[in-house]
Amino acid sequence: METQKLDEWLLELIRLTSCELAPDVERALCAARDAEQGRARSTLDWMLRNAQEARESSMPICQDTGSLIFYIDHGPDLDQEQMTQSFLRAVIKATERSLLRPNAVDPVSGKNTGNNLGVGAPVLHFHPGLAAGKLSVRLMLKGGGSENCGVQYALPDGSLQAGRDLNGVKRCVLDAALRAQGFGCAPGTLGVGIGGDRMTSFQESKEQFFRPLDDVNTDPILAAMEKELLESINQLEIGPMGFGGQSTVLGVKMGLRHRVPASYFVSVSYMCWAYRRRCLQVENGQAVYL
Ligand code: SF4
């Protein structure tokens, strides 16, 4: 794979993710707007106009372009070190072109590197395993306001009366939705990781954001929980940006990881209405963006 082409494809992936909502997200926001009235409706309308202007002018949908989290599946013909250099170059160029806000701050010195590169930034998850000539890159831009709403529970949790069972999991998700009120810009989407350890539980919750909003969980028990929680949260009347209404969340997406008997974690990640995730797929030298 030509290095120059890969650099260009990655830069376009970043531009698309920052400036154009994925079609399923825009459809969900339109459906939410059409079902609302009053301030909730006009708020969603402004969000959709914002998204349209961002797309037309190739400008970021939100000023906080967030952390860059890449998931890379590739074939044996691609070298991870060489690919890493392409990712870093694309991130630097995207920052220079104001497709990204400089968002990499050293937590000790407080200095911003100015180009979105730093220790652990951007986040690159490599997974070899595809056939030769194939590459799939998924990118999520995770804004700080929504990331701050993430919460992890260790069950049992006496304060929530949440035991180590699915009823306890539901109590955690409802609590996380209430806690996000006034912080993450609603309507949001909740990604839930059940089980795992502290790290993999949160990883699972974030990977849920790559599922299409209108899909149905392949696990019938989780599918029923997702539907029930979506309805329950939208009855809380928090609404878009907290202005009231039925559109507090666009979706609840749940996944599981096996746990050790002594631990039962539930991790809830929050994605705000500026739900930025896109995918680049390359096969036989041809790139497609999803
Ligand atoms: S929560 Fe989302 S929409 Fe709100 S400021 Fe942060 S990135 Fe932007």
According to CATH, the topology of domain 3-18+61-143+276-289 is 60s Ribosomal Protein L30; Chain: A; (3.30.1330)
Question: The pTM is what?
Answer: 0.95
**1 pLDDT exceeds 80?**
no
For the stretch 4-33, pLDDT in tens is: 999 999 999 999 999 999 999 999 999 999
Q: Which atom of ligand 1 is nearest to the CA of 274?
A: 3
**128 pLDDT exceeds 90?**
yes
Residues within a 6 A CB radius of ligand 1: 62, 64, 66, 143, 145-146, 184-185, 272-274
Q: Where are the domains of the chain?
A: 3-18+61-143+276-289, 145-271
Distance 208 CA to ligand 1 centre (A): 19
pLDDT of res. 3: 85
Q: Which atom of ligand 1 is nearest to the CA of 184?
A: 1
Distance 6 CA to ligand 1 centre (A): 29
pLDDT of res. 284: 87
For the stretch 187-224, pLDDT in tens is: 999 999 999 999 999 999 999 999 999 999 999 999 99
Q: How far apart are CA 136 and CA 164, in angstroms?
A: 37
**85 CB-near residues (< 8 Å, 6+ apart):** none
**145 CB-near residues (< 8 Å, 6+ apart):** 64, 183, 184, 185, 272
Distance 184 CA to ligand 1 centre (A): 6
Strand order across the beta sheet in which 276-283 lies: 123-128, 67-74, 134-142, 276-283, 286-289
